[in-house]
């Protein structure tokens, strides 16, 4: 790395992250920053919770002659890394994950100044790979073939965002890891379930070849999302809804429009305006009150959007509602 550093087996005093009471601790300290790695070893997997605090912008190169099958989840900030020589650089952002097989880690990473990076990495052992293969043979087989042939393999071409179910499982894993008494059976079950959810996300990336039943499941998820957009809740960004249904943003945008005839935000806007029109026609509320209730700054801005949508202002509708 070109830096003088100190290796310890203790948590540093300035560490602000989660402490795993049952984990082994490995930490590096130097002018570049403080890195803390906590490890939990189980029969099915090794789990690593890693926290990087960089004091300056720098690049580093980590090497290990150890094959890994890893589910990696990034919690904080964004990272760029290259797993092996000749492989393309991977850009991973907060809330994203990927699964990869590497024969001998040769990882080049760049850290920004004063940035924190937090990751949860689960290194699967052979017994877990075999169990997962029985659950998803068609999806898992390319990775298993790559392992057998001694080839590097990235399960997803680009990192994906965690689905809501995966977010809940990750949160629960951290709750279990921080407990005074580690419930190992529940931890193993939750980690295996998390892996299964991650593998199932491959279905969306293979959408051109999925079966009719799977496509129907996807459409059912989008109908559920449609019901969410029909509530009075504020609109969240497309990335949030993509994580909700376990799809990429581009796939969600395309599929939702095909199913509903309009984009997500326009669908939400149309519904909000329909509810406002109902209040105009069927209540005695003032236009200012209706405007504020449906998210507009005042009656004037509400009237402009209303007029653009229905070709007449809300006052005209009230006067001629019969």
Across the range 88-96, mean pLDDT stands at: 69
Distances (CA, A) of 34 to 10, 17, 65, 159, 178: 12, 12, 24, 26, 21
**249-307 per-position pLDDT tens digit:** 777 887 777 767 778 888 888 888 888 888 888 888 888 888 888 777 788 888 888 88
138 C-beta neighbours (distance < 10 Å), count? 10
134 versus 66: which is more confidently predicted? 134
**pLDDT number for residue 1:** 47
Q: pLDDT tens digits, residue range 184-235?
A: 999 999 999 999 888 888 766 555 445 555 556 666 777 778 888 877 777 8
118 within 8 A of 17, measured Cβ to Cβ: yes
Dist. CA 87–CA 90, nearest whole Å: 9
**Do the Cβ atoms of 125 and 44 come closer than 8 Å?**
yes
Specify the pLDDT at position 120: 92
- Whether residue 62 contacts residue 109, with contact meaning beta carbons closer than 8 Å, is answered with yes
- The Cβ-side half-sphere exposure at 164, using a 13 Å CA radius, reads 8
What are φ and ψ of residue 116, in 5° steps?
Answer: -105, 140
Q: Cα–Cα distances in Å, from 230 out to 25, 217, 233, 266?
A: 48, 20, 8, 12
The DSSP bridge partners found for residue 5 are 30
Q: What is the mean pLDDT of residues 164-174?
A: 89
Tokens of 275: 């509810």
Query: Both tokens of residue 265?
Result: 């935000």
Give the pLDDT of residue 143: 84
Q: What is the pLDDT of residues 129-168, one digit of tens each?
A: 888 888 778 788 888 888 888 888 888 878 888 888 888 8
Give 120's strand partners: 49, 73
| Three-state SS letters, the chain | CCCCEEEECCCCCCCCCCCCCCCEEEEEEECCEEEEEEEEECCCEEEEEEEEEECCCEEEEEEECCCEEEEEEECCCCEEEECCCCCCCEEECCCEEEEEEECCEEEEEEECCCCEEEEEEEEECHHHHHHHHHHCHHHHHHHHHHHHHCCCEECCCCCEECCHHHHHHHHHHHHHHHCCCCCHHHHHHHHHHHHHHHHHCHHHHCHHHCCHHHHHHHHHHHHHHHHHHCCCCCCCCHHHHHHHHCCCHHHHHHHHHHHHCCCHHHHHHHHHHHHHHHHHHHCCCCHHHHHHHCCCCCHHHHHHHHHHHHCCCHHHHHHCCC
Q: Would you place residue 84 in the very low, low, confident or very high pLDDT band (cuts 50, 70, 90)?
A: low
């Amino acid at each position: 790395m070109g830096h003088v550093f100190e290796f310890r087996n203790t948590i540093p005093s300035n560490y602000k992250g989660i402490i795993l009471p049952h984990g082994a601790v490995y930490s590096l300290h130097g002018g570049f920053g403080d890195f803390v790695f906590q490890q939990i070893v189980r029969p099915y997997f090794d789990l690593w919770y890693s926290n990087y605090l960089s004091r300056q912008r720098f690049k580093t190169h980590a090497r290990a002659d150890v094959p890994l099958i890893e589910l990696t989840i990034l919690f904080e900030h964004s990272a760029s890394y290259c797993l092996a020589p000749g492989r393309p650089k991977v850009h991973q952002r907060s809330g994203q994950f990927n699964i990869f097989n590497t024969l001998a880690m040769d990882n080049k990473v760049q850290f920004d100044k004063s940035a924190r990076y937090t990751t949860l990495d689960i290194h699967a052992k052979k017994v877990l790979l075999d169990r997962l293969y029985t659950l998803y043979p068609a999806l898992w087989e390319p990775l298993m073939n790559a392992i057998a042939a001694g080839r590097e393999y990235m399960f997803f071409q680009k990192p994906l965002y965690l689905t809501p179910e995966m977010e809940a499982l990750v949160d629960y894993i951290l709750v279990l890891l921080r407990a005074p008494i580690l419930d190992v059976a529940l931890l193993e079950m939750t980690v295996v379930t998390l892996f299964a959810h991650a593998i199932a996300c491959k279905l969306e990336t293979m959408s051109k070849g999925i079966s009719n039943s799977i496509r129907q499941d996807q459409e059912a998820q989008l109908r559920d999302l449609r019901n969410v957009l029909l509530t009075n809740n504020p609109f969240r960004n497309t990335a949030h809804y993509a994580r909700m249904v376990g799809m990429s943003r581009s796939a969600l945008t395309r599929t939702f429009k095909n199913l509903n005839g309009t984009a997500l935000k326009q669908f939400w806007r149309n519904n909000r305006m329909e509810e406002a029109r109902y209040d105009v026609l069927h209540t005695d509320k003032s236009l200012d009150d209706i405007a504020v209730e449906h998210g507009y700054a005042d009656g004037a801005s509400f009237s402009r959007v209303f007029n653009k949508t229905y070709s007449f202002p809300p006052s005209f509708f009230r006067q001629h509602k019969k």
